[in-house]
Amino acid sequence: NTVYLKDYKSFGYLVDQVHLTFDLSPNATRVTSRIAFSPNPETEDRSFFLHGEKLRLIRAAIDGTAVSPEITAEGLRVAAPDAPFVWEAEVEIDPANNTALEGLYMSNGMYCTQCEAEGFRKITYYPDRPDVMSTFTVRINGDLPVLLSNGNPVQRGEGWAEWHDPWPKPAYLFALVAGDLVAHSDSFTTISGKSVDLNLWVRPGDEHKCAFGMEALKKSMKWDEDTYGREYDLDVFNIVAVDDFNMGAMENKGLNIFNSSCVLASPDTSTDANFERIEAIIAHEYFHNWTGNRITCRDWFQLCLKEGLTVFRDSQFTSDMRSAPVKRITDVIDLRARQFPEDNGPLSHPVRPESFQEINNFYTATVYEKGAEVIGMLKRLVGDAAYAEALDLYFARHDGQACTIEDWLKVFEDVTGRDLSQFKRWYSQSGTPRLKVEEEFSEGTYTLTLTQHTDPTPGQPDKQPQVIPVAVGLLSPNGDEVVPTRVLEMTEGTQSFTFEGLAAKPVPSILRDFSAPVIVERETDTAERAFLLAHDTDPFHRWEAGRALARETLVEMATGDATPLPDYLDGIRTLLRDKSLDPAYRALMLGLPGQSELAGHLHEAGITPDPAAIWIAVEDLKQALARDLQDMLPDIYAEAQVDAPYAPDAEQSGKRALGAAALDLISRLDGGKQAAAQYEAADNMTLQLSALGCLLGAETGDAQLAAFYDQWKDDRLVIDKWFMLQIMKAKPDRAAAVAKALTEHPDFTWKTPNRFRAVFGALAGNHAGFHDSSGAGYDLLADWLIRLDPLNPQTTARMCTAFQTWKRYDAGRQEMIAAQLDRIAATPDLSRDAGEMISRIRGA
């Protein structure tokens, strides 16, 4: 049951209106639908199939006459008139036993929904596809204080409420929430002077965690007006926090639903990183109102149309609210950690996939983050002004439509006159292009020769050249910028670019601002990297030079040589001392590439990575850094202290990040003394958690760990951190045992995805621990995936990705992982979600 992009056909009917009535009851909710259909003039096909899963059909009628449809596990089929008609149906569903958290389900006594991508079919019979759009009127009957749905409130009575959404939308944007909730309310006046009521709905007890999310929402509304000219279009905007949620959040029209971990925040329970992420996710979901809701996707293959664009928009927002270079660097760190392994492994797929079994498996870093990078490239190629014009045209031309990537590219072609057919390969070709760089200098002319190559990926043996914008600047040997950033537009397999009139051979700074999601392969020496680390004027590329040095050092240390490169240590020392640099930037400079990333590098260099050796190399390098920087660490730590009252802004967060990086090194020298002091004095979660992490790393944190639990045992979001941190900080040979012990803890409420991910996300993220040669990590994860799958296929399938890099490792590890993959695959009634993931990871 694979679905293909090429098989797209429009539905035989249009939906003119939807009317839904919900009679809420935990085990037997009645959903009555009255839907006006009319023949779709775009097609002759009048077959009438409605999606529907796990529904008990009580009655169905067409124009008031009872009908008896043919029912399967996927939906129903019945003969329908070739003329407008009204469909009515009554179904019964069981929200309390809906553990998959898709459709209508319950979380802590509250009803809520998640319909994207194909969850609406678990609520009632419907053409559950994004190109079928309609206006919805919803009546909720239920004995609960708060009853919410999309759009504007129409009427409210004792035990019922009615909502109307005037904007046509696909069913995946439907939402309903009912529960005992309290609102943090505010309002926003739009650019044309309309007042919008804003509410953030939470469970009683969480009221003190709403203020930050509300501010983020108002900033997002303002930013979208100022930057994209997009105004909000309803009288109310509601956000609800839910504890049981498979993903981060959902952009349902006028009623966004959030994983509580992605919206609730307070200084004493949330870290700076939590605050920044929450601000970005609130923005992301809000921005979907235009890029996703007003203009939606024709089919799920076009998912990147809304997700890539909306991620791009939320990253622009964060860059504007905070520090643009810091945001760019953290986005690249994230891309390399999550998207590169996907793009270069068995799960590799194009930004616009061409087939799938389960669409939920394609909410990936490739669709989202690489999808956003593709938009960034397009903007760089056409320029800011043309980008703005193209977006205006996109909104004007396609408002109210369900669109494709072709529609998206066409507005750029129409605005710029460019032919984007080659650029479109970014949407169809999977795999990360590699860019080989060669240089030549003679008589004042410097020539860069670039060669692109993309390795075969599953289903795509041959790759064509892509359009790659390569931002390049040149520095003179004494460190001045002699050629400022220029974008070389690469279209061929191999291409040369010349720069004339240079007094001496320059040092190139290539792929500034990470202008394309590619891997630069350049034969270069340590000295040149050190030079760029000291002199590059592009903040991203300066960081990149340091990162490359750190990687080089770690690779050498992990494969034999035990001493760090002096160039690296010198460079870092100079940077750390430079107080003109943003503390956040210096903190990033002190960061090291992840161990999984290093394993990937070794694998690509033809060396089988040894996770234990990589772990030791990282520990040794940190020890060496600590010793080398010993004299300046107290100073840096002191500089990083914040005197003002806590604020999760860029400036304070940057200081705390630098302080945490310093404390990590200090703890390697003082056995945790400073960290213990910080823990005692901490008046916010950022300082408390970073201190606890250092103490656990130094193996002296038992008392604080217990105290932390005691202090926070009633706060589920903090207890998630408590679970996570212990596993992240466990020594490699202990990680699986620590995780296993935690699964026996009474607070291991494993059916809640956040708690499941706290444990197993942390285990998979502890590279050396997960890949410990005992195989205990593999075994434990597989046990729990098998256990979770019957209840929650979506979260199970997502966690299967922990195994996606398995072919990098030695034969022994590969054999152990293959055995676990086969064990999962052999589980009776394995879900389609997990089945597809396991078979793709396992490969042919």
**Choices 156-164, 243-251, 341-349, 610-618 (CB under 6 A): range interacting with ligand ARG:** 243-251
Nearer to ligand ARG, 249 or 663 (CB): 249
Please give the full DSSP string across 594-612, using - where no structure is assigned.
-HHHHHHHHHHTT----HH
User: Does 300 help bind ligand ARG (rule: CB under 6 A)?
Assistant: no
User: Does 255 help bind ligand ARG (rule: CB under 6 A)?
Assistant: no
Nearer to ligand ARG, 402 or 545 (CB): 402
Which residues, 273 to 312, sit near Zn ion by CB under 5 A? 307, 310
**Choices 241-249, 523-531, 634-642, 807-815 (CB under 6 A): range interacting with ligand ARG:** 241-249
Nearer to ligand ARG, 241 or 725 (CB): 241
Alpha-carbon gap, residue 410 to 406, rounded angstroms: 6
**For residue 135, what are the contacts with CB-CB under 8 A and spacing of at least 6?**
17, 18, 164, 165, 166, 167, 168, 169
Contact partner at residue 247 from Zn ion, ligand ARG, none, CB < 5 to 8 Å by partner kind: ligand ARG
User: Does 307 help bind ligand ARG (rule: CB under 6 A)?
Assistant: yes
Nearer to Zn ion, 310 or 678 (CB): 310
φ/ψ bin of 501: left (φ > 0), alpha (ψ from -120 to 50), beta (otherwise): left
Place of tokens 């590098």: 601
Which residues, 767 to 796, sit near ligand ARG by CB under 6 A? 794
Nearer to Zn ion, 367 or 762 (CB): 367
Residue 459 burial by Cβ neighbours in a 10 Å radius (0-12, 13-18, 19+): exposed
Residues in the chain: 844
Q: How far is the CB of 360 from ligand ARG (least distance, A)?
A: 4
Nearer to Zn ion, 134 or 310 (CB): 310
Which residues is 184 bridged to in the sheet? 200
**Choices 125-133, 244-252, 703-711, 796-804 (CB under 6 A): range interacting with ligand ARG:** 244-252
Q: How far is the CB of 828 from ligand ARG (least distance, A)?
A: 25
Q: How far is the CB of 32 from Zn ion (least distance, A)?
A: 31
User: Does 116 help bind ligand ARG (rule: CB under 6 A)?
Assistant: yes
Buried b (16+ CB within 10 A) or exposed e, 807-838: ebbeeebeebbbebbebbeebeebbebbbbbb
Among 279, 285, 373, 836, the one annotated catalytic: 285
Nearer to ligand ARG, 69 or 130 (CB): 130
Alpha-carbon gap, residue 732 to 379, rounded angstroms: 44
Contact partner at residue 250 from Zn ion, ligand ARG, none, CB < 5 to 8 Å by partner kind: ligand ARG
Please give the full DSSP string across 68-125, using - where no structure is assigned.
--EE-SSEEE----SS-EEEEEEEEE-GGG-TT--EEEEETTEEEEE-TTTTGGGTS-
Nearer to ligand ARG, 112 or 728 (CB): 112
Nearer to Zn ion, 310 or 348 (CB): 310
Q: How far is the CB of 843 from ligand ARG (least distance, A)?
A: 24
Nearer to Zn ion, 307 or 331 (CB): 307
Token pair of 312 as six digits:
């791009």
Nearest to 372 by CA among 330, 325, 290, 311: 311
User: Does 259 help bind ligand ARG (rule: CB under 6 A)?
Assistant: no
State the angle between helix axes of 371-382 and 405-416 in degrees (0 to 180), rounded to the nearest 10.
10
Q: How far is the CB of 496 from ligand ARG (least distance, A)?
A: 41
Residue nearest to ligand ARG (CB): 363
Number of residues that bind Zn ion (CB under 5 A): 2
Contact partner at residue 360 from Zn ion, ligand ARG, none, CB < 5 to 8 Å by partner kind: ligand ARG
Separation in Å, CA 633 to CA 253, 272, 575:
50, 22, 13
Residue pair 105/13 in contact (Cβ under 8 Å)? The answer is no
Which residues, 272 to 291, sit near ligand ARG by CB under 6 A? 284-285
What amino acid occupies position 815?
A: E
Residue pair 448/469 in contact (Cβ under 8 Å)? The answer is no
The whole-angstrom distance between residue 27's C-alpha and the CA centroid of its chain comes to: 33
User: Does 117 help bind ligand ARG (rule: CB under 6 A)?
Assistant: yes
Alpha-carbon gap, residue 671 to 678, rounded angstroms: 13
Pick from 111, 125, 167, 363: which binds ligand ARG (CB under 6 A)? Answer: 363
User: Does 356 help bind ligand ARG (rule: CB under 6 A)?
Assistant: no
Helices (H) and strands (E) in the chain, counts: 29, 31
Q: How far is the CB of 372 from ligand ARG (least distance, A)?
A: 11
**Cβ count within 10 A of residue 120:** 28
Helices (DSSP H) in 288-362: which residue ranges?
A: 303-321, 324-334, 340-343
Q: How far is the CB of 791 from ligand ARG (least distance, A)?
A: 15
Residue 670 burial by Cβ neighbours in a 10 Å radius (0-12, 13-18, 19+): middle
Q: How far is the CB of 674 from Zn ion (least distance, A)?
A: 41
The whole-angstrom distance between residue 621's C-alpha and the CA centroid of its chain comes to: 30
**Choices 51-59, 247-255, 646-654, 813-821 (CB under 6 A): range interacting with ligand ARG:** 247-255
User: Does 251 help bind ligand ARG (rule: CB under 6 A)?
Assistant: yes
**Choices 81-89, 245-253, 661-669, 767-775 (CB under 6 A): range interacting with ligand ARG:** 245-253
Pick from 242, 250, 468, 837: which binds ligand ARG (CB under 6 A)? Answer: 250
User: Does 295 help bind ligand ARG (rule: CB under 6 A)?
Assistant: no
Name the pairing type of β-strands 75-77 and 70-71.
antiparallel
Residue pair 344/366 in contact (Cβ under 8 Å)? The answer is no
Contact partner at residue 116 from Zn ion, ligand ARG, none, CB < 5 to 8 Å by partner kind: ligand ARG
Pick from 110, 249, 381, 390: which binds ligand ARG (CB under 6 A)? Answer: 249
Note if 285 is an active site residue.
yes
Nearer to ligand ARG, 122 or 813 (CB): 122
Q: Find the angle CA(674)-CA(678)-CA(679) to the nearest 5 degrees.
A: 115
**For residue 136, what are the contacts with CB-CB under 8 A and spacing of at least 6?**
18, 19, 20, 149, 150, 151, 163, 164, 165, 169, 174
- Contact characters 309-348, Zn ion, x per CB under 5 A: -x--------------------------------------
User: Does 490 help bind ligand ARG (rule: CB under 6 A)?
Assistant: no
Q: Which stretches of the chain bind ligand ARG, using CB under 6 A?
A: 116-117, 246-247, 249-251, 284-285, 307, 360, 363, 794
Catalytic residues: 285
Q: Which stretches of the chain bind Zn ion, using CB under 5 A?
A: 307, 310
